[in-house]
Structure 1
Amino acid sequence: MSENNDMITSGMIPTAPDGYKSGFVGIIGRPNVGKSTLMNYLVGQKIAITSPVAQTTRNRLRGILTTPEAQIIFVDTPGIHKPHHELGQVLVKNAQVAIHAVDVILFVVDCTAEVGGGDRYIAELLTNTKNPIILGLNKADQQGEGNQFLDNSYQELAKDHGWTIAKFSAVTGEGLEALQTSLIQNLEPGPYYYPPDLVTDQPERFIMGELIREQILLLTREEVPHSVAIAIERVQEEDSITRVWATVCVERPSQKGIVIGKGGSMLQTIGTAARQQMQKLIDGKIYLELFVKVQPKWRQSRTRLAELGYRVEE
């Protein structure tokens, strides 16, 4: 298991052929519209966590799709929302920074509901960018028949701003080939930014921590919503197994009790599920040991946020 950054600097990036396209595509939208699910599907591997709980994405995570025609670097951003704490302010700021740091913007919405205030707020944020914008109508598989009025509300929004529209399902893959074609058409000729076989620029330790956090969100649901952060303390590689020690940080003793569970049952369930996901990531055996630690109000502390990897990006 090697860090992805090692691959980038080891001379494995080939020269792109004439006419090759490349660039960065920012995936933005309200919380829980399926941005991470979409990126996972497009790059063909799970690199971003997904959960029924809103606000699961915390970092600007890059997913890399390399085709014979183009290399697309997807930037999956935190859902844009009204922040309620220091962590929320950092997340929203990072999403806003991403708007101006990419070549193409894919504004993802949930087409099972009409255009809402949150969508219009993001639309206003996009009025100052000169980059191409595609309005992506996700969850087409859940829309049902006779709901043309839903699409009409988004068509009006797109028309008002001069955007193109793509309708798709990030779960079934319906419409994603057309979306990919549209994205490539909006890119300029450019080089390979990453080795063609790389699917993310994030180190494996980061992905491991996210996989643990995902299982906590899935298994505890609303009981421990977003008061949890993961610190990978140590990774030890051996010939037949990779050993990982990680700390689960929560804000209150009651949350620690929920994560551990009666007789340690919940922590064991979380660890087993996370370990299975990690083994897919590194294609090998994993030993995972989890510890739970109370860090009061860590989401309110800029210092503690920085220690856990949450910084405002420039």
Structure 2
Amino acid sequence: MTDTTPVEHSGYVAIVGRPNVGKSTLINRLVGQKLAITSPKPQTTRHRLLGIRTEGGVQAVFVDTPGIHPGQGRALNRYLNRTATGALEGVDLALMVVQGTHWTADDQRVLELVKASGRPAVAVVNKIDLVPNKAALFPQLEQLGAQGCFTEIVPVSARKGSNVERLMQVVGRLLPAGGELFPEDQVTDRSLSFMAAELVREKLMRHLHQELPYVCTVGIETFDEQPGRTEISAIIWVERPSHKGIVIGKGGAMLKQVGSEARADLEKLLETHVFLQLVVREKSGWTDDDVALRTLGYQSE
């Protein structure tokens, strides 16, 4: 999504909210391509990711973040909360995403953080496609309006794209005057190697159940771009030996399914043939070990 209009307004826009309100789906829709992975499970988003849209004289740098939730728990949970709350520092605008008619204690906690940040804010009421009677949205809209911290309240369906362009117009109007922050053809700050690891992890999140999605992470060992093909070797890290058998599956079925689906997405992203090799290894207790987290790419940002 680029054009030749000189950038006159630009800035960073944090997308915040509790888990599973559709933040990653929204950033993908705003940018116009899949950058952030999605699944119905919490903790799908683990890293800060920038999605950049340059259009109509506006460059909006959207910051996708993990869902904000109470409690510290394991080292991984503490990392996720630090990453999410830290996203409000130094941005020009906050988009607080909530879900349709639902309001929870986690939403309230996010609201307090948005208020405390002092940043200009817009409330984004997502998943309106799941509310058949739109009049049922009125109490939520009124409650958000009564908070006194939102410049605008915009109902959207990130999944279907409803009203997302209106949201983009609001963002462009609220961003400060300024030139481009990134080259106009750049859409993210993340490498293709990072995107490859995330696409593999997305398939794990979608296919694994109970605790397993939350104790898996993915690292890229090699990423070799050649004429007409890209060869990628990835390691799936788990916490216990018993996890390895489940991720691999009977006769390797689960690993083959994850690899096949990830490879299809990677070929769309890279626009070339992809050879993807997956290996499963154990790193005991990595989700509650700060040193292990850093070695696996969970760096403070």
Residue aligning to 2:237: 249
CA separation in 2, counterparts of 1:47 and 1:187? Answer: 22
Using the TM superposition, give the Cα deviation of residue 265 of structure 1 relative to its aligned residue in structure 2, in angstroms.
1.2
Residue aligning to 2:142: 155
1:85 to 68, 74, 81: 74
Deviations 1:267-312 (A, max 9, x none): 1111111001111111101000000001111011111101111122
Q: Is the 1:242–1:287 contact (alpha carbons within 8 Å) kept by the matching residues of 2?
A: yes
Map residues 38-77 of structure 1 onto 2, 5 A cutoff. Answer: 38-77=26-65
Q: Is the 1:16–1:192 contact (alpha carbons within 8 Å) kept by the matching residues of 2?
A: no
Q: Is the 2:120–2:149 contact (alpha carbons within 8 Å) kept by the matching residues of 1?
A: no
Residue aligning to 1:29: 17
Structure 1, unmatched stretches of 5+, are: 1-13
CA separation in 1, counterparts of 2:106 and 2:11? Answer: 27
Normalized against structure 2, the TM-score is what?
Answer: 0.95
CA separation in 2, counterparts of 1:59 and 1:23? Answer: 20
Residue aligning to 1:298: 286
Q: Which amino acid in structure 1 is aligned with residue 61 of structure 2?
A: I
Using the TM superposition, give the Cα deviation of residue 16 of structure 1 relative to its aligned residue in structure 2, in angstroms.
7.5
Residue aligning to 1:231: 219
RMSD, aligned CA:
1.8
Residue aligning to 1:4: none
CA separation in 1, counterparts of 2:97 and 2:182? Answer: 25
CA separation in 2, counterparts of 1:146 and 1:156? Answer: 16
Q: Is the 2:127–2:158 contact (alpha carbons within 8 Å) kept by the matching residues of 1?
A: yes
Secondary structure of 1:161's aligned partner: coil
Moved more, 25-34 or 258-267: 258-267
Residue aligning to 2:93: 104
Q: Is the 2:5–2:56 contact (alpha carbons within 8 Å) kept by the matching residues of 1?
A: no
Using the TM superposition, give the Cα deviation of residue 147 of structure 1 relative to its aligned residue in structure 2, in angstroms.
4.7
Map residues 275-290 of structure 1 onto 2, 5 A cutoff. Answer: 275-290=263-278
1:308 to 286, 296, 301: 296
CA separation in 1, counterparts of 2:149 and 2:257? Answer: 49
Secondary structure of 1:160's aligned partner: coil
Would you say 1:145 and 2:157 are equivalent positions?
no
How many percent identity over aligned positions? 40
Residue aligning to 2:194: 206
CA separation in 2, counterparts of 1:283 and 1:81? Answer: 37
CA separation in 2, counterparts of 1:40 and 1:153? Answer: 25
